[in-house]
Structure 1
Amino acid sequence: MSRTTVTTTALVVLVWAALLSFGGVAAETVMLYPNIFADPPASLERAREFLVAGGPADYFPPLGAAVVVTGLATVVLTWRDRRLRWWVAGAVAVFVACEFLFSVLFFWPRNEIMFVDPVGTHPAEELRRVAAEFVAGHRVRLVGGAVTAALAFTALLRQVQATAPAAATDERRSRSADPTR
């Protein structure tokens, strides 16, 4: 398998994983959050009852790890290619900052309060405040996921444009037509 094929495959997998992550966050935003955060603490209790068999905490950590691992591998594969290097590195950096670090520092403590600590541990006013902070901070994840996917997709487009057979044929034709090239 050629390096070009490996690089293109890595970019496709990175774009796919980044789009799955962004799509999951976007779907969560419009389908789950209006129900979960509608009327804390009652809506948080209903969410706990509903999200028993599985929830975002089961989906996003493995997917996030896949984005990071694929992203880092793709950075290594594309580092020597100036056309791709910063698009891929940017995608990984944005994902790590907005989806991982921001989640660890901002969301995880709020998740503990809303969904892990026993019901009744925190006063209703604190739960309302934490829920409002969570919803407001969620915009960072949403934008970060969109930027990650856009940067990764741009890198893939640049790779495909540079390696497509038609582009190579056109380049050969223009070189043969122009003796100064």
Structure 2
Amino acid sequence: MLSFGGVAAETVMLYPNIFGDAPASLERAREFLVAGGPGDYFPPLGASVVVTGLAAVALTWRDPGLRWWVAAAVAVFVACEFLFSVLFFWPRNEIMFVDPVGTHTPEHLRQVAGEFVAGHRVRLAGGGVTAVLAFVALLRRVRATAVPAAVTPVGVGR
């Protein structure tokens, strides 16, 4: 759920500035994201989500009411956040932010930026699905372990 919130915030706050007017906006983003950027934040966060997700799968495996919700959340996260990022986003990040300025034509940079934004919708949807699956698992766990509140008869204890 944290990762989804981070990706959603990045979408609203950074993406219009980074991809709004490629290639000029890409150059501004390079200048702005010098001290730190999404590439400094999301890989460690993603790794911690995968590790804690795998631990959660192991810890909930004996509970059939939780097992598949947690496993599905981890599977969707790995597919949409990790694998999709490695295969789709990382090559485009190289083109837009790592290769020296002037290596690619403005038309190519606009195309790659457009592909990145379109692909980001898949990542955002996957993060949303992951968050919903994890939240359902959490609710199921809370409901299964909640102690019913004691009912006090009307007028008693007043």
- Cα displacement (A) at 1:146: 0.8
1:127 to 97, 109, 129: 109
Point out where structure 2 has 5 or more consecutive residues left out of the alignment. Answer: 152-158
CA deviations on 1:93-113 (whole Å, 9 max, x unpaired) are 000000000000000000000
Structure 1 residue 38 corresponds to structure 2 residue 20? yes
Q: Deviations over 1:122-165 (max 9, x none)?
A: 11110000000000000011011111111011101101100111
Q: TM-score, normalised by structure 1?
A: 0.81
1:26 aligns with 2:32: no
What amino acid is aligned across from residue 133 of structure 1 in structure 2?
A: E
Q: Secondary structure at the match of 1:166?
A: coil
Matching of residues 29-108 of structure 1 within 5 Å: 29-108=11-90
Give the ranges of 4+ consecutive aligned residues of structure 1 lying more than 6 Å apart after TM superposition. Answer: none
Q: Higher helix fraction: Structure 1 or Structure 2? A: 1
User: What secondary structure is seen at the aligned counterpart in 2 of 1:165?
Assistant: coil
Mapped to 2, the partners of 1:20 and 1:91 lie a distance apart of: 13
Q: 1:147 aligns with which of 123, 129, 136?
A: 129
User: Aligned-pair distance for 1:60?
Assistant: 0.3
* TM-score (structure 2 length as normaliser): 0.93
Q: Deviations over 1:3-37 (max 9, x none)?
A: xxxxxxxxxxxxxxxx2210111111111110111
Distance in 2 separating the partners of 1:111 and 1:46: 15
Residue type at the aligned position of 1:31: M
CA RMSD of aligned residues (A): 1.3
Output the CA distance in 1 between the equivalents of 2:10 and 2:45.
15
Corresponding pairs, count: 151
| AA aligned opposite 1:135 | V
Amino acid in the other structure paired with 1:106? F
In structure 1, the partner of 2:155 is none
What is the alpha-carbon distance in structure 1 between the residues aligned to residue 129 and residue 109 of structure 2?
A: 30
Mapped to 1, the partners of 2:88 and 2:29 lie a distance apart of 20
